[in-house]
Amino acid sequence: MTHELVLELTLDVRPGGKSAVVMKSPEGLFLEVVPNRKLVTTDAYTHWTAEAKKQHEAMGFAEGWGLCAKQLEALAKTL
């Protein structure tokens, strides 16, 4: 089994606070880099076991990420 390694964790634990997690994973590559403009990544997060995949499906991860992508698209169109 392969595990991700958390390299940095920043938490501002209060209403409206921000969080940031930097992880090193065996998956994911930068495909294109345009300094100060654009990053294209594979950003592949895999399920290490069938059980983990079922747990994520039951928790609604696919729907949640789909909603995040739609919200990000709407925001990007306003820029």
Looking at the structure, tell me whether residues 42 and 52 fall in a common domain: no
Contact 40, 31 (CB under 8 A): yes
* Residue 66 and residue 32 in one domain: no
Model confidence, pTM = 0.39
Compute the radius of gyration of the chain from its Cα atoms.
15
Is residue 61 located within the same domain as residue 24? no
Do 16 and 42 have their domain in common?
A: yes
Expressed as residue numbers, the domain containing 2 is 1-46
Count of domains forming the chain: 2
**Nearest in space to 62 (alpha carbons), one of 77, 74, 41, 47:** 47
> pLDDT for 16-58, tens place per residue?
888 877 766 666 667 888 888 887 776 555 666 788 788 888 8
Does 35 share its domain with 57? no
* CA separation for the pair 76, 74 (Å, rounded): 6
Whether residue 63 is found in the same domain as residue 30: no
- pLDDT digits over 49-76, tens only? 788 788 888 888 888 888 988 999 999 9
Quote the CA–CA distance of 5 and 28 in Å, as a whole number. Answer: 13
